Copies of this chain bind each other. A is one copy, B any other.
């Protein structure tokens, strides 16, 4: 029935997103999805004929997540530092635990093997995120909460890059490394110049 179709599709996307963050796009299979959902591979193929189709749906799901989170942040009546904290502890992680990295980092790592259709989507998602963080930093610098030299965009690149890599490292070295990196980053942006 139509109702279950949507639910099932959503279940598949949710699980695939989790496997993307823990194992990478090329390192989970329709078999993995089928087993964990209690259905067969053929059923997954019914919803997403090719894995590439699933990949595109994953990008769309991330896009939706971004849009929800970014507009929540814009509506949130807090300081730039608080918003940045919410980004670091929430948005960036996509409901993540210690074993999950950012789904965009995961896709970047597999870029050479990724289906062609996913690459422009990935680039757009990265750009969208950078734009959002740049907006945050701009606000913070304007009202004096943050201080850093140079271009806002360049600093946004630095912040986003650090967050992503910190998630990747913390999977190998423990979450203290994530906290250490975030604390140092913050110190640089309130102490500099």
Contact = CB atoms under 8 A, between A and B. Distances in A.
A169 B86 CA distance: 23
A155 interface: yes
A157 B180 contact: yes
A188 interface: yes
B23 A172 contact: no
Contacts of A181: 154, 157-158, 161
Interface stretch (A2-10, A67-75, A89-97, A104-112): A104-112
Given A24-B110, A105-B109, A110-B27, A162 B158 contact: yes
Copies in the complex: 2
A188 B149 contact: yes
Interface of A: 22-24, 26-27, 99, 101, 105-106, 108-113, 119, 122-123, 126, 148-151, 153-155, 157-158, 161-162, 164-166, 168-169, 171-173, 177, 180-181, 183-185, 187-188, 191-193
Contact of A171 (B111, B184, B191): B111
Contacts of A180: 153-154, 157
Nearest to A190: B149
A188 B188 CA distance: 7
A113 B24 contact: yes
A187 to B, nearest CB: 5
A172 B149 CA distance: 26
